[in-house]
Amino acid sequence: MRPDHFAPNIQLSTESMSESGAEIIFIPIFEDDDSDLAKSFEKSVVSELSRARASGEFKCKNFESLVLSINQPNWKIKRVGFLGAGKRKSMSVDFWRRLASTAVITSRKACYKKVAFFVPSLQEVSGDKIVQALAEGAHLGNFDSGSYKTNEADLGWVESIELAVSGNLDALNAGVERGCVFGEYTNIARGLVNEPSNSLTPKTLASRAKEIGLDAGLAVDVLDEDQIRDLNMGLVMGVAQGSSEPPRVVVMKHNPPGIKDGPVLGFVGKGVTFDTGGISIKPASNMDKMKGDMAGAAAVIGAMGILSKLKAPVRAIGIVPAAENMPGASALNPGDVLQSASGKTVEVLNTDAEGRLLLGDGIWYAQQLGATHLVDIATLTGACVIALGNTTSGLFGTPDWWVGQIELASTRAGDRSWQLPVFDDYSEGLKSEIADFSNIGGREAGAITAALFIKKFVNELPWGHLDIAGPSWTEEEKPYQLKGATGTAVRTLAELALDVSSWKDLK
């Protein structure tokens, strides 16, 4: 196997670009505001840029690129890449993240290993936020899903990136360091999601999570099937009973020194390493994508790594219930009743609604371990994809102030989310004649009833649910995003934890 990502060396520079040893420099060009650096190039370059803009070849639209040769006096760099940056007033932190990723992917396709990026002065966004986003984007662009290919790598790696900035380097360097950690652990999560299910079983996922967690400095424990059974996690055991692969529950803990009280974050990620649907089997079309049904687990693993590496000032617990949902001889049947670790009973009307079962026991266990604020993350429903498409996660939860904090974190992270209601009326569909409730609520409002199923295991704590079924994977290649796993929600969870001072006293 070849590596699926490479961490570039990212350095800030306030020196003249004339001495840079980069092979290409990228310069953002706004539709409504030319770059002063672009104007300073030799006449032939300025003329070619003007011609391309006048002809419509380069309209400065978002993420367009125009690469030209330069022969600038006293410059070592021989290529310039102009990047379309749209209208200056519409710039956001997430746009900078995507622009950096565009620059790296463009460079990889042209085999440039040493890259420079000119960062214009922007009063609209603080400099440390911009360089953090640029560092994240650079890492995200340096990812490749073809780790099982045996031929030469389709795309090489960008090895170094020089960010040409103005300002206090000490303050900006902190942003770069944070961005590199965010980018690295997002890529680790993407690698897990891309992994085929024959090599990433529940046991292997647990082993990888332990390796990643210990390397980051976390305390990690893995519960085997006997320990899971001893905890009466009947929902986890029920999902796993049709597979020859036994389930696992991973527990990751971040306990920063000196913090003995205050909130304890509980992150719970769905870890279905392959989902056939069980007896309620899925159609064959696109079933191969079900290897990614553990993207919620990957998000928790990646986020917990960030918390430890950046010494987040809040205690946190990451729970990953992992299982395979198969239609084996001993598989769960529609109509079966399972007893959860909380004691509540569930009538399983559809075995393809298995992720919420894992989360039910996982949410219970997070509370047993002391979590005071909960967020669960899952590729949970096709209904959420129908509602919001592939660009936005569904956000559910109570109370509103806690959901608002999660939404703010997702905005900072560049992970779009949209709040959907959890009115009690929707719970009517989960009624069962023989158990406390069923695991599905009918065709209508399927994403909402799934969220309300999970809520039944929450003991009046602040709780949020992210349904990432749409944005966790992309089949559409974009200038800033190659096909495959996206790493959705890793940075959202990390941003939420690192911003603990904003919400720890809210009630």
- For residue 178, indicate whether it is catalytic: no
Q: Helix, strand or coil for residue 435?
A: coil
- Among 53, 88, 229, 282, which one carries the catalytic annotation? 282
> Of 213, 200, 240, 242, which is closest to residue 224 (Cα–Cα)?
240
Q: What are phi and psi of 82, to 5 degrees?
A: -85, 130
User: Could you tell me the two tokens for 117?
Assistant: 């990026």
- What are the C-alpha distances in Å from 507 to residues 38, 211, 372, 398, 406? 51, 36, 12, 11, 15
User: Could you tell me the two tokens for 375?
Assistant: 């967020």
User: Could you tell me the two tokens for 22?
Assistant: 């980069």
d(CA 48, CA 81): 12
- Please answer whether residues 103 and 10 qualify as being in contact, where contact means their C-beta atoms are separated by less than 8 angstroms: no
- Please answer whether residues 171 and 128 qualify as being in contact, where contact means their C-beta atoms are separated by less than 8 angstroms: yes
d(CA 329, CA 451): 30
d(CA 182, CA 236): 31
- Among 97, 98, 291, 356, which one carries the catalytic annotation? 356
- Please answer whether residues 263 and 372 qualify as being in contact, where contact means their C-beta atoms are separated by less than 8 angstroms: yes
- Please answer whether residues 377 and 300 qualify as being in contact, where contact means their C-beta atoms are separated by less than 8 angstroms: yes
- Please answer whether residues 463 and 456 qualify as being in contact, where contact means their C-beta atoms are separated by less than 8 angstroms: no
- For residue 129, indicate whether it is catalytic: no
- Please provide the DSSP assignment of 91-106 as one string: --HHHHHHHHHHHHHH
d(CA 225, CA 159): 43
Q: What are phi and psi of 263, to 5 degrees?
A: -70, 155
Q: Which ranges in 142-233 belong to alpha helices (H)? A: 169-194, 202-216, 225-230
DSSP summary character for residue 331: -
* Identity of the amino acid at 161: I
Q: Helix, strand or coil for residue 220?
A: strand
b/e string for 388-407 if b means 16 or more Cβ within 10 A? beeebbbbbbbeeebbbbbb
DSSP summary character for residue 396: E
Which positions are annotated as active-site residues? 282, 356
